[in-house]
Amino acid sequence: MANTVGIDVGGTSLRAAVVDPAGRIIDRERVPTPNSAEALEDALAHVVRRLEHRNPVSAVGLAVAGFLDTDRSTVRFAPHLPWRSVNVQKRMQDRLNIPVLLEHDCNSAAWGEYVFGAAVGATNVAMIAIGTGIGGALIFNDELYRGFYGTAPEFGHLQVVPNGRPCACGKLGCFERYCSGTALVDTALELMVSNPDLPTELNRDVTPESELTGRRVVQAARAGDILALRAVDDFAHWLGTGIALVADVFDPELIVIAGGVSSSGDLFIEKARQVYRQHLTGSGYRPFAKIKQAELGDDAGQVGVARLARKLITEEA
Ligand SMILES: [Zn+2]
């Protein structure tokens, strides 16, 4: 039996799933994320009780987009959640009377891919999750690598362009400022200004009433829009550059590209792979890491953290 619950605790919604031992989602709940710590804990408890009522569960995993302490009981800080130095594990365990586990959201997703998705069979994996920014995770010799203080890895803020685009983190030229949904828009807008003669249908999207989105740029690129294709090409270049940096430090056997943008991987993965191969130190004299798209989509975090929560009740990884 031993089904477990995995909850993706995001800034806009709580996405909960009952996951069976084979990684299948057998039930789901989704509610908006409340904006006080107390209301958030109430909502989590409520969602778990509703799921429990329909399917008995033995443990709960929470995938949290934020900084956790080294024993992963306390959320130190999460930019889009109300918890500040709160021992969420204890508070939720006291309320639910079953074991509760906390994990970083990217680590959770990487674990889902490792056990059930794109990274099955690999032992050393780097995941680059591309959305509005970049999230990262490392699996090192079949274990999640979190760093000594629990905050590794931050691939998104590796500097790829000295004195480049400003980043919310305070630095200039971070990887995610050139390779993310947001970056794709910035690049398209820059190209419109610097190459006014490039034909593009995206001009129509840039009005005082509307805003260009990464999704729109991808859509235009798919339709053959020259400017959008150039923006995607630039994105692919920086993705390959970033992959080479990660590979230089970590030497993984597999790199999984995840996040919202990964579903459009057919547009940029081949170019990124070429750039990675050119930039890798010692290229030509060492094996290349495989580069794959994630397979579990939005479910990866819930499935992964539910699987990690199983460790609280069984010896199974
Ligand atoms: Zn940054």
**Ligand 1 midpoint to CA 134 (Å):** 10
- Residue 315 belongs to some domain of the structure: no
**Ligand 1 midpoint to CA 167 (Å):** 5
Together in a domain, 108 and 251: no
Domain of 223, in residue numbers: 118-294
Together in a domain, 216 and 76: no
pLDDT at residue 211, as a whole number = 87
Together in a domain, 78 and 35: yes
pLDDT at residue 206, as a whole number = 80
For 66-92, what is each residue's pLDDT tens digit? 999 999 999 999 989 999 999 999 999
**Ligand 1 midpoint to CA 197 (Å):** 32
pLDDT at 153 over 90: yes
pLDDT at residue 150, as a whole number = 87
pLDDT at residue 151, as a whole number = 86
Domain count, the chain: 2
pLDDT at residue 293, as a whole number = 96
**Ligand 1 midpoint to CA 126 (Å):** 19
Q: At 299, is the pLDDT very low, low, confident or very high (cuts 50, 70, 90)?
A: very high
Q: Are 68 and 101 in contact (CB under 8 A)?
A: no
**Which residue spans within 116-221 are E strands per DSSP?**
125-130, 134-140, 143-144
Phi, psi (degrees; rounded to nearest 5) at 124? -130, 110
pLDDT at 209 over 90: no
Average pLDDT of the chain to the nearest whole number: 95
Together in a domain, 136 and 200: yes
Together in a domain, 99 and 169: no
Together in a domain, 107 and 241: no
**Ligand 1 midpoint to CA 173 (Å):** 7
Task: For residue 14, give the CATH number of its domain.
Answer: 3.30.420.40
Together in a domain, 129 and 234: yes
Together in a domain, 153 and 91: no
Together in a domain, 158 and 268: yes
- Region label for 97, one of left (φ > 0), alpha (ψ between -120 and 50) or beta (otherwise): left
pLDDT at 225 over 90: yes
Mean pLDDT of 132-148: 96
**Ligand 1 midpoint to CA 279 (Å):** 22
**Ligand 1 midpoint to CA 180 (Å):** 12
- Residue 107 belongs to some domain of the structure: yes
pTM: predicted TM-score of the whole model, two decimal places: 0.95
For 230-270, what is each residue's pLDDT tens digit? 999 999 999 999 999 999 999 999 999 999 888 899 999 99
Together in a domain, 94 and 234: no
